Amino acid sequence: MEVSEAWEDDALDGVVKIPNPQGLSIDPPIVEAVEAGEPFAILYVPRFGPDYQRTIAGGVDLATVLNDSRFGVGHYDQSSLLGELGNFAIAGHRTSFGAAFADIAELVPGDKMYIETDAGWYSYVFRNLDYVLPTTVEVLLPVPRQPGVEPTERFLTLTSCHPRFSDAERIIAYAVYEAWYPRGNGPPEDIAQVGKRTT
């Protein structure tokens, strides 16, 4: 993927490896908000296939993000920023426009999810699924479905329509932050070969 390759090239210019191979003891950087439709990260979910990767853009507008073949995944700008305490929430389709979250219902507790930025990789562990009405916007709160509660953890929330071919409900996948992998140390082992299989 071109964006990821550009980040890799930039990272190799004078960067010394950080002595933290597991990425477990460093607080992750916070990614600043971007304009609607601007790409800023890449999502990897090994459960969705060995080559699965989708670009994340700012906003969840249908025309410019979710229905755009370049992206297909968008960040709810009212949710937390990537890397900060709270809930980084993203949306994607299940059955159309690339179906970024086609296999969301197949997630199993313990599955890993990764988000790549120019600085490195954020690692999350899937916890559980939830099914809600479209009006249940509390899933986007800093602590999902917990109004008024201050976050002490970092969450990743994936949202999509449910059931397939319908928007009557929403399927929600919750994951919790596990680790930060600085770019100088290379990608997590689970996704090290993604994007290299076709080159």
Give yes or no for residue 21 having a pLDDT over 60.
no
Q: What is the pLDDT of residue 133?
A: 96
Give yes or no for residue 13 having a pLDDT over 50.
no
Rounded to a whole number, what is the distance in angstroms from the first to the last CA of the chain? 11
- The Cα 104–Cα 51 span in angstroms is 16
- The Cα 68–Cα 56 span in angstroms is 11
- The Cα 161–Cα 95 span in angstroms is 9
Q: Which of 3-17, 29-43, 134-148 has the lowest mean pLDDT?
A: 3-17
* pTM exceeds 0.75, yes or no: yes
What percentage of the chain carries pLDDT values higher than 70? 84
Token pair in block for residue 50: 């060995």
Q: Which of 16-30, 45-59, 142-156 has the lowest mean pLDDT?
A: 16-30
Q: What is the pLDDT of residue 146?
A: 97
Write down all domains in the chain, each with its CATH number in brackets.
Answer: 2-191 (2.40.260.10)
Q: What is the pLDDT of residue 61?
A: 95
Q: What is the pLDDT of residue 27?
A: 87
User: Half-sphere exposure of residue 24, counting CA atoms within 13 Å on the CB side?
Assistant: 1
Question: How confident is the model over 5-26, as a mean pLDDT?
Answer: 50
Question: How confident is the model over 99-127, as a mean pLDDT?
Answer: 97
Maximum Cα interatomic distance, the chain, rounded to a whole number of Å: 52
- The Cα 147–Cα 162 span in angstroms is 24
- The Cα 14–Cα 49 span in angstroms is 34
Check residues 133 and 4 and name the one with the higher pLDDT.
133
In which band, very low, low, confident or very high, does the pLDDT at 47 lie, cut at 50, 70 and 90? Answer: very high
Whether the CB-CB separation of 42 and 3 falls below 8 Å is answered with yes
Check residues 88 and 23 and name the one with the higher pLDDT.
88
Question: How confident is the model over 140-156, as a mean pLDDT?
Answer: 97
How does pLDDT run across 121-147, given as a tens digit for each residue? 999 999 999 999 999 999 999 999 999
